[in-house]
């Protein structure tokens, strides 16, 4: 079997830094700065484009090198301050898809200066029985930064969740998709010579796959792999019985996409990844075909069409204040991609 990348504390420390950073769609600066600092010594060319994507090229050696685009989005779902009620109380909107039921009773960091805020709720003692069973609509929620606290309309806010390691898992906000960002950084550091590695750290995935669209156009790659994090709904059924709609399960390895809500992934690339995993003894799972999407669909339909596949590290509790993923799944994702990149040949995607 081929040699794999040894992954340890250094990579986990970087993942911690990435997850603790706040980069709500459209305001990805904190993550962009970390990415630029990490990759600059390893790439030949790097640019920040018109939307804020970080686009880096690490060329290989020799002739006929396929251009392989790897994609991970830097942005996260979050909140934006939209109005001021006075005395440190602010209205906000959600950016991206956030279930409003996750918001009451949570702590947030607001703005570049990371001012502390909380999203409170009416005391349970003062609610009618009916009120207690209804979710609090977004219009009724506020961020409270304290009596004479001041933040700005337009400031972004993110959940004040600290990364931690627990047994076989990590607990953090924004595992979707900092785990993909960390994966790309690691692969840039270990890029094989048979390809030109085109790394796209994209913006605005959570609000319509917008960064990936222009990134694919810029790179014009021969093939692309979107590296993301997909929900694992592997919880027990309340009424008993088998959970047959789990999407993915933690601990079973990288999730390879065949079909999601916006794209049928290139079957040649799906088979290729499966064969690499099987020959190298890397566990993997097929994400249950169904809804959802990643940057892959935006890349696939760019230019005259780009063969695309998507690989995700599974995580539980998507778009919530705290998600859980397994360290082993992440390591297996990095190594699946590391070994796959080495085996990419120009003939692979010829008809």
Partner 1 sequence: MDVLPFLKSLVSISGLSGYEAPVAKLIEAKWRPLVDEIKVSRVGSLHGFKKGTGKSPRPSVMLAAHMDAIGMMVSGIEGEFLRITSIGGIDVRVLPGAQVTVHATGSGEELPGVIAMPPAKLLPKEAAQEVLEIKYLLVDTGLTARAVKRKVRVGDLVSFANDPLELAGGIISGHTLDNRASVAALTICLEELQNTPHIWDVWAVATVQEEVSYLGGYSSAFELRPQIAIAVDGTFAKGPGADGWQTHPLGKGVGLCMGPNMHPFLHKKLRELAERLEIPWFLDVTPMHSGTDAFPMQTTAEGIPTALVEFPIRYMHTPVEAVSLKDIQRAGRLLAEFIASLEADFVEKIVWE
Which of 29, 60, 121, 292 forms a contact with partner 1 (CB under 8 A)? Answer: 121
Residue 136 in contact with partner 1, rule: CB under 8 A? yes
Reduce the DSSP state of residue 83 to 3 states and report it: strand
Instruction: Compute the least distance from the CB of residue 281 to partner 1, in Å.
Output: 21
Instruction: Compute the least distance from the CB of residue 246 to partner 1, in Å.
Output: 9
147 class by beta-carbon count within 10 Å (0-12 exposed, 13-18 middle, 19+ buried): exposed
Instruction: Compute the least distance from the CB of residue 284 to partner 1, in Å.
Output: 20
Measured from the CB atom, is 330 or 338 closer to partner 1? 330
Q: How does DSSP classify residue 301?
A: T
Measured from the CB atom, is 168 or 267 closer to partner 1? 168
Cβ within 8 Å of residue 137, ≥6 positions away:
100
Residue 113 in contact with partner 1, rule: CB under 8 A? no
C-alpha 163, offset from chain centre: 15
Listed residue (335, 325, 229) closest to 282, CA to CA: 335
Residue 179 in contact with partner 1, rule: CB under 8 A? no
Residue 263 to residue 279: CA distance in whole angstroms: 27
Q: Are 216 and 306 in contact (CB under 8 A)?
A: yes
What tokens appear for 16 in the block? Answer: 């911690």
Which of 13, 45, 105, 303 forms a contact with partner 1 (CB under 8 A)? Answer: 105
Q: Are 171 and 323 in contact (CB under 8 A)?
A: yes
Which of 10, 235, 267, 303 forms a contact with partner 1 (CB under 8 A)? Answer: 235
Q: Which stretch binds partner 1 (CB under 8 A): 38-46, 63-71, 127-135, 260-268?
A: 127-135
Measured from the CB atom, is 88 or 307 closer to partner 1? 88
Residue 213 in contact with partner 1, rule: CB under 8 A? no
Reduce the DSSP state of residue 294 to 3 states and report it: coil
Torsional class of 331: left (φ above 0), alpha (ψ -120 to 50), beta (otherwise) = alpha
Residue 123 in contact with partner 1, rule: CB under 8 A? yes
Residue 270 to residue 255: CA distance in whole angstroms: 11
Instruction: Compute the least distance from the CB of residue 88 to partner 1, in Å.
Output: 6
Residue 125 in contact with partner 1, rule: CB under 8 A? yes
Residue 1 in contact with partner 1, rule: CB under 8 A? no
Which of 62, 147, 304, 350 forms a contact with partner 1 (CB under 8 A)? Answer: 147
Measured from the CB atom, is 262 or 324 closer to partner 1? 324
HSE-CB of 289 using CA atoms within 13 angstroms: 6
Residue 47 to residue 28: CA distance in whole angstroms: 15
Residue 145 in contact with partner 1, rule: CB under 8 A? yes
Residue 184 to residue 57: CA distance in whole angstroms: 12
Instruction: Compute the least distance from the CB of residue 66 to partner 1, in Å.
Output: 39
Q: Catalytic positions, please? A: 205
For the four alpha carbons of 54, 225, 336 and 18, in that order, the dihedral sign comes to: positive
Which of 10, 135, 261, 279 forms a contact with partner 1 (CB under 8 A)? Answer: 135
Residue 256 to residue 162: CA distance in whole angstroms: 29
Instruction: Compute the least distance from the CB of residue 318 to partner 1, in Å.
Output: 10
Residue 93 in contact with partner 1, rule: CB under 8 A? no
Measured from the CB atom, is 11 or 320 closer to partner 1? 320
Q: Which residues bind partner 1 (CB under 8 A)?
A: 85, 88-89, 99, 101-102, 104-107, 115-126, 132-136, 140-142, 144-150, 160-161, 164, 166-171, 233, 235-239, 243, 245, 251, 316-317, 320-322, 324
């Amino acid at each position: 079997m081929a040699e794999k990348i040894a992954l340890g504390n250094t990579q986990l420390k970087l993942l911690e830094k990435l997850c603790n950073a706040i980069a709500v769609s459209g305001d990805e600066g904190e993550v962009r700065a970390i990415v630029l600092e990490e990759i600059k010594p390893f790439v030949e060319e790097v640019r920040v484009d018109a939307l804020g994507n970080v686009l880096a090229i690490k060329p290989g050696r020799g002739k006929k090198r396929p251009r392989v685009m790897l994609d991970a989005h830097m942005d996260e779902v979050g909140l934006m301050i939209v109005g001021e009620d006075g005395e440190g109380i602010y209205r906000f909107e959600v950016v991206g898809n956030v279930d409003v039921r996750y918001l009451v009773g949570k702590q947030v960091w607001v703005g570049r200066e990371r001012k502390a805020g909380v999203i409170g709720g009416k005391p349970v003692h003062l609610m009618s029985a009916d009120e207690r069973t209804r979710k609090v609509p977004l219009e009724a929620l506020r961020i409270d930064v304290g009596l004479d606290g001041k933040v700005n309309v337009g400031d972004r806010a993110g959940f004040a969740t600290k990364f931690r390691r627990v047994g076989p898992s990590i607990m953090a906000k924004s595992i979707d998709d900092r785990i993909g960002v960390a994966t790309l950084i690691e692969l840039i550091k270990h890029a094989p010579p048979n390809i030109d590695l085109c790394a796209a750290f994209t913006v605005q995935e959570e609000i319509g796959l917008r960064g990936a669209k222009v990134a694919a156009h810029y790179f014009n790659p021969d093939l692309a792999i979107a590296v993301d994090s997909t929900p694992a709904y592997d919880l027990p059924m309340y009424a008993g019985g088998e959970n047959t709609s789990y999407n993915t399960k933690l601990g079973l390895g990288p999730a390879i996409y065949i079909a999601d809500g916006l794209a049928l992934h290139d079957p040649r690339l799906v088979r290729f990844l499966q064969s690499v995993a099987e020959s190298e003894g890397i566990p993997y799972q097929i994400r249950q075909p169904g809804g959802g999407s990643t940057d892959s669909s935006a890349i696939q339909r760019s230019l005259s069409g780009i063969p695309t596949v998507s690989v995700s590290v599974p995580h539980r509790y998507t778009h919530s204040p705290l998600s859980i993923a397994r360290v082993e799944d992440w390591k297996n994702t990095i190594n699946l991609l590391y070994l796959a990149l080495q085996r990419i040949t120009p003939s692979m995607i010829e008809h």
